[in-house]
Amino acid sequence: MNEDEIDYISKTQKKREAEALQKLGEKLVKLSRQQLGEIDMPEEIREAVVLARAMKSHGAIRRQMQYIGNLMRKIDSETIQDAITEIEEGSYRKAQAFKETEKWRDELIAGNKALMQEILDTYPEADRQQLSQLVRNAIKEKEKNNPPKSSRVLFRYLNSIRIK
């Protein structure tokens, strides 16, 4: 066997790799301006991504995505892939934390005293008196069918103690 046979990559494999890089480029285009700024990449790719975001024509966007994929083949795209993965996982964790905070709020309003103690044990910086007062206000508000102002305040407080 010579070296040419060992390094052979099929046409199908090359197409798969090109499509994967184009999909990576599509993910770059969908990122916010701030997220895009946090990723270390060549300026040529950054400019192509910004240009693709400004385009309206479907055909032009498709061609620009192919161009971005072509540019991505010339660099080691692993660092860009890692950065995008990190951003996506961070967004997922934020969404999970938001859902958990909502669940806490709803259970506290439903009268789950054990959860209140668990929160106070887990987050020692939480103020027992303030948390109890916010829960009482939200319960009264719910009983009177008032708009959920106190419920929102309770949610913000729970969220703030999680972030600290």
User: Rounded CA gap, 87 and 74, in Å?
Assistant: 23
pLDDT(1) > 60? no
Kindly indicate the confidence band of residue 17, based on its pLDDT and cuts at 50, 70 and 90. Answer: confident
Per-residue pLDDT, averaged over 105-133, amounts to: 91
> Distances in Å between the alpha carbon of 150 and those of 105, 145, 147?
11, 12, 8
Instruction: Tell how far CA 113 is from the center of its chain.
Output: 32
User: Rounded CA gap, 159 and 34, in Å?
Assistant: 23
Kindly indicate the confidence band of residue 103, based on its pLDDT and cuts at 50, 70 and 90. Answer: very high
**What domains does the chain contain, in order, with CATH numbers?**
8-75 (1.10.60), 91-163 (1.10.60.30)
Kindly indicate the confidence band of residue 9, based on its pLDDT and cuts at 50, 70 and 90. Answer: confident
Q: Give the list of residues 6+ apart from residue 17 with CB closer than 8 angstroms, or none.
A: 73
Kindly indicate the confidence band of residue 93, based on its pLDDT and cuts at 50, 70 and 90. Answer: confident
| Average pLDDT over all residues of the chain | 88
pTM above 0.85, yes or no: no
pLDDT(99) > 50? yes
Q: pLDDT higher for 4 or 7?
A: 7
Per-residue pLDDT, averaged over 111-128, amounts to: 90
